Amino acid sequence: MVKNVQAKKAELTRLSNLTKGFIKENPVFVSLLGMCPALAVTMTLETSLGMGLLVIFVLTLSNIVISLIKKLVPPQVKIPVYIVVIATFVTIVGMLTQAFAPALFDSLGIFIPLIVVNCLILGRAESFASKNNVLDSTIDGVGMALGFTGALMLIGFSRELLATGAIAYGTYLPLPVSGSLLNLEFYVVNMAVFNGAAGGFIVIGLWLAFFNTIRLNQEKKQELERQRFIEQKKKEALERKRKKALESAGEPA
């Protein structure tokens, strides 16, 4: 019985471990990690997705390896060792991309090698994988990378739609079909600003504002609830005290 409950609890924390990266601790919109690719490669939905896939691969594998070797690495050389591990996987994905998705490789360019210094990956290695077991680290890596990919795709979707009025597919990723979705043919939508860096900042800023508003509202609600709970407890305590006082006053009488 007790074992069952414990297993359920562990599952629940694993589930929350997976989903915490989606919205609650989203790397881009909450922790502001990995802003460099979030600005630089989110011109289109497809490049964002491509970068996201690479990060999923690198982050998951580096988390696994780092949690495996965590006891072997002396703390003095922690960071260099992590960087070497991450760089290995980045090199692998870079070569794989060049072989199987050359268009994506060309359009991401320098930002593939730069995944090595993506602070999201080093951050998860340092703060999670070096302290937890392999399974938890894997789940954490997948969840965080999925959250990162989702955020990138959200930005990429908004920017591509605003800049070109359509969402193209099959251009960068080796999909069997190619074409474009959501053809908003009226030309008001083609705002070339969103292709540039300024548009990237504007879109990220707007999404940040959106997620922050939601988060702040939630926090405010929680705070109100907490206060109400405290008030209630106080009231109960006061009532109890009064009762006791009445009783003790009634006794001698």
Kindly state whether residue 192 participates in binding other proteins, applying the rule CB under 8 A.
yes
DSSP track, 19-31: HTTTTTT-TTTTS
Contact 62, 91 (CB under 8 A): no
User: How many Å apart are CA 182 and CA 178, to the nearest integer?
Assistant: 13
Contact 18, 143 (CB under 8 A): yes
What is the four-CA torsion angle of 52, 123, 90, 205, rounded to 10 degrees? Answer: 40
Contact 28, 37 (CB under 8 A): no
Per-residue x/- track, 210-239, other proteins (CB under 8 A): ------------------------------
Kindly state whether residue 69 participates in binding other proteins, applying the rule CB under 8 A.
no
Stretch that binds other proteins, among 61-69, 83-91, 175-183, 188-196 (CB under 8 A): 188-196
Residues 193-212 that bind other proteins (CB under 8 A): 193, 196, 198, 202
Binding residues for other proteins, total number by CB under 8 A:
8
Cβ at position 195, least distance to other proteins in Å = 9
Instruction: Tell the residue number behind the tokens 């979705």, with chain if given.
Output: 181
What are φ and ψ of residue 179, in 5° steps? Answer: 160, -150
Residue closer to other proteins, measured from CB, 186 or 247: 186
Contacts of 164 (CB under 8 A, 6+ apart): 189, 190
Per-residue x/- track, 144-183, other proteins (CB under 8 A): ----------------------------------------
Cβ at position 248, least distance to other proteins in Å = 50
Cβ at position 214, least distance to other proteins in Å = 16
Residue closer to other proteins, measured from CB, 130 or 164: 164
Question: 10 Å Cβ neighbour count for 241?
Answer: 10
Footprint of other proteins on this chain (CB under 8 A)?
188, 190-193, 196, 198, 202
